[in-house]
Structure 1
């Protein structure tokens, strides 16, 4: 299947999940608002969710997939034995780590909670309970990631891409209960408890869903006695540095939690809500591209088909920029409008929406870079080089922390978004420079020229959206009809302007589409 079709499959289903996620966050803002129970819930959910993204979807998948594909070239029985050995070690580690985190939850949350939440003994106790109930989600999702990695390696992308929809359906169910109750502190607290239960239930359901489709694909992972085999040791050597190489975005979110500790009540909610808008294109484009190219790159490099690896990497970068640059420019100018239209209501005030919209603009400055990191790091992982992405990630994190130390006291929560974006660009430049110096990948003049035209095409769209924001400002918080019309008008202006600019500059033509549609060998 071609890169474009693979990305379309993963990205399309991820888009459905993100739409459900928007419905979830709209309900979350209106039912819980910002601060208090809302911050308690965000803190309780952030920990298992960040660990999931960092260890399971980031490091584990990055280390497992190249090794699994190598064993697949030796025959399916070898791949099956390798997966069984990994599962036998992974399960007891997850049970031990999960139990330890649940027991230590009162002290762990204390490290990240801000002063307002720590001073509110009732909501802090609620956050601890919610965190303990929600943490089994990490164990279920880590096992689900193993199953998803097998499916992706077999080029069965749809089931894994659809799985997050289950999480959002479970959370929406819990929030719907809160939305139909009378607005009160007791309702918000009970809704938070239902949300925590829904998280763990969704993890179990996703594991069952992926297990079903793996069996349908004719692949089973037998249980075995835990043994540290040579193959498990090899994966262990890869997975520890991959935590930093593949998970720099998630590590930066951990850093954000540490800095949010000193910010006013509501800051955690503002950052989480803003990140939802950034995660829409990041999840649809970045995760889809990274997931789609890693198995193929691993096969090309294992067979020493360097021209095919170069072609695939070029196509992935071009597609990433084609999709993320206009998305980033559009959200930079219109982020506050989207937040006001969709989230401002009930417990989520105009001030909450204004701050969240500003944070959105800061986050999307780094959107193309976050996606490019996900596109470039598979080139290292496919060569079983997890050390280099660790070094570049460490440098970018040092830059991020230094900027946070300077900017957070001056501009508050917005600093976290801006610093993370600059750090992501530093990481991108370093990764590309190292690939080029080692002769693993070098961008052709054709691709560089096309990226330049993509940036130029986005500029008129940004100017048009800036002007449209001034005209539409009174309607973003108006009636439902006014909100709907204003946001549709913004979308139409952005699409039309970018479409015209792109056509005039030759950003997308028939030859480009055919190249991206070319079937992978």
Structure 2
């Protein structure tokens, strides 16, 4: 770029390192996820397992949001925007944003209108098991008419987040989901009393949350000088490239969401409450996934895209290797904790109000099954950007389709002996297949090479995690006693276990020679 070429607003600003950026996103995501757990506790306390209709009505727009907005669109848009930012003047960057937002907004509006028209039929696809309960089936469709516009608002929010992330502004997008949880907590506590059917209050809370999150991000995009009036131009060169990349990415980046949707569909045929049990256990499993793996994936995608545009092959490989190490550092102890402490965690968080001891036992089974796959879920989030940053969305889609087939076969095998927990276990096992194929592809293409020090790093992890499991088992005691304790006793003892376990885990790693400087990513 010549000196006379205009630069993007933040082009001269030094970008933070990967560890610092990931830490910022992780802390803010942790705040969001903690509020999310509080939200789920409130919903569980007010509605228990009878909120199945709402969860399906919320899951449908959420599925499309993760599929299109945070899934396919983000992985297609960020690499192209990062390339424009590095190689083109600011006017072309702003034009790309204007035209992309115009095309995206028009498409979302069309999908939303069609969904509102067909709201009575969508439950036939996403929860056919509800047909045996006509009242629940009809309620799901009515709730869906209120919740589905959330897709329009939250997808535009994801668009704004992608712009901010591409310019290294990670904090605002990471904080934005906090507003969703605040709105839903308010809806459960206050708005549910406004309706004869309280679940309608929750549905309107979803609608409000989408609108609030979108409006919140606009001033920050404007501060970058990139808030442009939408223009509909589907023939724009950049827009066409994004669209071309999105088509295969629809499957490649969203396999886990499709698998979870299949779980919901099959669970609707099982014992009443199965959808809610899977939902609550998946939410808890998503806490470490969202706080760490998704945060790392968000940070490395623009970093990898920039290195690919600059043809920095060694830097690309080092960034990927750093991300994989960070996942192993966090995912392994988190997965072990979810499996070992499943009953204490579920009883501490959800054993209140309408939730029974029977519900806790069922949620424990599915949490352990999801926990077994946490490592795979996390690795997918950091390996997939290795393809998307190089604008290769074809390879992940092939792997994604294979993984979906594996998941469907395992679902049919495991659902009969294990019921809802079998669905969760099938999702976990298929995720490992997905990880292996992504990893093997990156290695074969020569874009990911292991850096030095993996053997020593693995030995440190083995030592620390072995001690971690022993400590958790000793402190946990008999699992059944947790149901006999008061809420205060459960919360107090769980806090002690978490604090002691985290302190010992990192103390052993430090004693074994691991230092913060070993965890710093490159400056990008």
TM-score band w.r.t. shorter chain? over 0.9
- Cα deviation for residue 167 of structure 1 reads 0.5
Q: How does 1:440-459 map to 2 (within 5 A)?
A: 440-459=447-466
3-state SS in 1 of match to 2:335: helix
1:426 to 426, 433, 445: 433
Measured in 1, the distance between the counterparts of 2:295 and 2:341 equals 24
2:153 to 113, 116, 140: 140
- Cα deviation for residue 308 of structure 1 reads 1.4
3-state SS in 2 of match to 1:64: helix
Q: How does 1:106-145 map to 2 (within 5 A)?
A: 106-113=120-127, 115=129, 117-145=130-158
2:40 to 20, 25, 36: 25
Is the alpha carbon distance of 1:338 and 1:518 closer, same or farther for their aligned partners in structure 2, counting shifts above 3 Å?
Answer: closer
1:176 to 178, 186, 189: 189
TM-score by length of structure 2 reads 0.93
Is the alpha carbon distance of 1:500 and 1:472 closer, same or farther for their aligned partners in structure 2, counting shifts above 3 Å?
Answer: farther
1:307 to 281, 301, 314: 314
TM-score by length of structure 1 reads 0.94
* Structure 2 residue aligned with 1:7: 22
Say whether 1:64 aligns with 2:77.
Answer: yes
- Cα deviation for residue 255 of structure 1 reads 1.5
1:238 to 240, 245, 267: 245
* Structure 2 residue aligned with 1:396: 403
Measured in 2, the distance between the counterparts of 1:451 and 1:403 equals 30
Asked if the contact 1:472/1:486 (under 8 Å) is kept, the reply is no
1:277 to 284, 292, 316: 284
* Structure 2 residue aligned with 1:517: 520
Is the alpha carbon distance of 1:152 and 1:16 closer, same or farther for their aligned partners in structure 2, counting shifts above 3 Å?
Answer: same
Measured in 2, the distance between the counterparts of 1:260 and 1:305 equals 47
Measured in 1, the distance between the counterparts of 2:463 and 2:266 equals 36
- Cα deviation for residue 497 of structure 1 reads 4.1
* Structure 1 residue aligned with 2:175: 162
3-state SS in 1 of match to 2:41: helix
Measured in 2, the distance between the counterparts of 1:14 and 1:356 equals 24
* Structure 2 residue aligned with 1:87: 101
3-state SS in 2 of match to 1:33: helix
Unaligned runs of 5+ in 2: 1-15
1:361 to 356, 359, 368: 368
Q: Which is worse superposed, 418-427 or 451-460?
A: 451-460
- Cα deviation for residue 306 of structure 1 reads 1.3
Measured in 1, the distance between the counterparts of 2:437 and 2:174 equals 30
Measured in 1, the distance between the counterparts of 2:494 and 2:22 equals 27
* Structure 2 residue aligned with 1:47: 60
Is the alpha carbon distance of 1:244 and 1:385 closer, same or farther for their aligned partners in structure 2, counting shifts above 3 Å?
Answer: same
Asked if the contact 2:252/2:399 (under 8 Å) is kept, the reply is yes
2:485 to 460, 478, 489: 478
* Structure 1 residue aligned with 2:49: 34
Asked if the contact 1:48/1:134 (under 8 Å) is kept, the reply is yes
- Cα deviation for residue 519 of structure 1 reads 4.8
- Cα deviation for residue 280 of structure 1 reads 0.4
Asked if the contact 2:322/2:521 (under 8 Å) is kept, the reply is no
Measured in 2, the distance between the counterparts of 1:449 and 1:111 equals 50
Is the alpha carbon distance of 1:448 and 1:435 closer, same or farther for their aligned partners in structure 2, counting shifts above 3 Å?
Answer: farther
1:195 to 192, 202, 208: 202
Q: Which is worse superposed, 451-460 or 350-359?
A: 451-460
- Cα deviation for residue 63 of structure 1 reads 0.2
Measured in 1, the distance between the counterparts of 2:274 and 2:336 equals 24
Is the alpha carbon distance of 1:324 and 1:43 closer, same or farther for their aligned partners in structure 2, counting shifts above 3 Å?
Answer: same
Say whether 1:413 aligns with 2:399.
Answer: no
- Cα deviation for residue 218 of structure 1 reads 2.4
- Cα deviation for residue 246 of structure 1 reads 1.1
Asked if the contact 1:98/1:139 (under 8 Å) is kept, the reply is yes
- Cα deviation for residue 104 of structure 1 reads 1.1
- Cα deviation for residue 490 of structure 1 reads 2.1
* Structure 2 residue aligned with 1:256: 263
3-state SS in 2 of match to 1:443: coil
Measured in 2, the distance between the counterparts of 1:153 and 1:497 equals 37
**Structure 1 or 2: more helix by fraction:** 1
Measured in 1, the distance between the counterparts of 2:236 and 2:455 equals 45
Deviations 1:135-167 (A, max 9, x none): 000001111111110000110011111110111
Q: Which is worse superposed, 387-396 or 58-67?
A: 387-396
Measured in 2, the distance between the counterparts of 1:268 and 1:320 equals 29
3-state SS in 2 of match to 1:190: coil
Measured in 2, the distance between the counterparts of 1:404 and 1:518 equals 39
Give the length in aligned residue pairs. Answer: 508
Is the alpha carbon distance of 1:424 and 1:262 closer, same or farther for their aligned partners in structure 2, counting shifts above 3 Å?
Answer: same
- Cα deviation for residue 445 of structure 1 reads 4.7
